[in-house]
Amino acid sequence: MFDLTGKAALVTGSTRGIGRAIAEALIAQGARVVISSEDAADTARVAAKLGMPGCPCDVADDAMLAQLVDFTLAELGGLDILVCNAGITGQAGPFAGIDMADYARVMGINLRSQVVLTGLALPHIAARGGGAAVLIASLSALRGNGRINAYALAKAGVAQLARNLAVEWGPRGVRVNAISPGFIATELSGPLLADEAFMARRKAMTPLRRPGTPQEVAGATVFLASAAGAFVTGHNLVVDGGTLITDGS
C-alpha cells in the first residue's frame, strides 16, 4: 500500500532536513523525484547523489515556480505527487513592532508560494487521473506563541489551503493534505538542540520526551502520498510526539 513505483514527484526545499528526508523516502518507495532548492549548487549536488533530476528554484519567484513545474513534466513525463516543503522561519519576536518587510518575505515564501505552486501543479496531477499533494505546515500554527509570529500565521494558512484545495480538487481525484511537524532535529535546529534549558522544557511538554526526526515526517508523507492514504484528504496530520495534546504534566 506504500509502493510508489512509477510515480513522478516534486519536492521543494529537498536538499536538506525534512525536505531531503521526504525525497529519499519517496525514492525508496520507487518514485522518481525532482530535487529543488534556491541554491543551484546544492540542488545539483544532492540531485546527483540521489540519482534524480534537479532544478533550482526560488519559490518566491512565480516565473521560477512555473519553470520548475515545466522542468518536472519534461523530465518525468508528468506529475503524481507534489510536496510543498520550502520555507523560512523569519525573525522571532512579538507582533508588536514586527518588521513588515520580514513579515512579507515569510508570508511570501511559506504561504503564497504554495498557493502559486499548487495552482500550477494540481491540474497536471489531475490530468494523470489523480494523485496527492502534501503541504508542510507546522505545530506552531496550532498553538499560541509569543515569539513565533509571521511563521505561525503563514503555516496556519497552509493548513487551511490544504482544506480548501481538498474540496476544490477532490472531484478530480487529487488529494491534498497538510503535515504539521513539531520540534524536529535538523541542522537548522542545532542551536536549540544544544540549549539544555530549552530542551528540558521541550521534552517536559512532549509525551515521547524527545525531538522528532526528519525521517518520521517523511514516513507520514509517504502515507499521505500513497495508496495507504487513499481516503484521506483535507487533513492536517500532526507529527509532534504528542506536544499538542499534553498539558506538560
Give the pLDDT confidence of 136-148 residue by residue, as tens digits.
Answer: 999 999 999 888 9
Grid coordinates given for 162:
490544504
Average pLDDT of the chain, as a whole number:
97
Please tell me the predicted confidence (pLDDT) of residue 43. 98
CA terminus-to-terminus distance, the chain: 38
Task: State the Cα–Cα distance between residues 112 and 161, nearest whole angstrom.
Answer: 10
Does residue 249 form part of some domain?
no
In a domain, 77, yes or no: yes
pLDDT at 188 (0 to 100): 82
> Is 248 contained in some domain?
no
Query: Taking a C-beta distance cutoff of 8 angstroms, is the pair 163, 118 a contact?
Result: no
- Report residue 249's pLDDT band, with 50, 70 and 90 as the boundaries: confident
3-state DSSP call for residue 35? strand
Residues 98 and 109: their CA atoms lie apart, in Å, by 17
On whether residue 2 sits in a domain, the answer given is no
Cα–Cα distance measured from residue 130 to residue 111, given in angstroms and rounded to the nearest whole number: 23
C-alpha cell at 124: 497536471
Give CA–CA dist 217/134, Å, rounded: 11
Domain interval for residue 71: 8-237
Can you give the CATH number for the domain in which 166 is found? 3.40.50.720
- Residue 187 has a pLDDT of 87
Query: Does residue 210 lie within any of the structural domains?
Result: yes
Cβ atoms of 11 and 85 closer than 8 Å: yes
Per-residue pLDDT at 248: 78
- Helix runs in the chain, H state only: 17-28, 40-50, 62-76, 100-107, 113-127, 150-169, 190-193, 196-204, 214-225
Residue 245 in any domain: the answer is no
Decide if pLDDT at 224 tops 90.
yes
Structurally, the chain folds into a number of domains equal to 1
Max distance between CA atoms of the chain, in angstroms, equals 53
- Local confidence band at 243 (pLDDT 50, 70, 90 cut-offs): very high
Residue 243 resides in a domain: no
Q: Is 103 a catalytic residue?
A: no
32, 68, 125, 159, 239 from 77: Cα distances, Å: 10, 13, 11, 29, 32
Task: Select which of 151, 169, 183, 223 is catalytic.
Answer: 151
Q: What is the pLDDT of residue 158?
A: 98
On whether residue 174 sits in a domain, the answer given is yes
- Tell me what pLDDT residue 247 has: 87
The residue type found at 158 is V
Q: Give me the pLDDT at residue 227, please.
A: 98
- Alpha-carbon distance 93 to 194, whole Å? 21
Contact (Cβ atoms closer than 8 angstroms) between residue 39 and residue 16 = no
| pLDDT tens-digit map of 57-96 | 999 999 999 999 999 999 999 999 999 999 999 999 999 9
Residues 157-206 have pLDDT tens digits of 999 999 999 999 999 999 999 999 999 999 888 899 999 999 999 999 99
d(CA 212, CA 189): 11
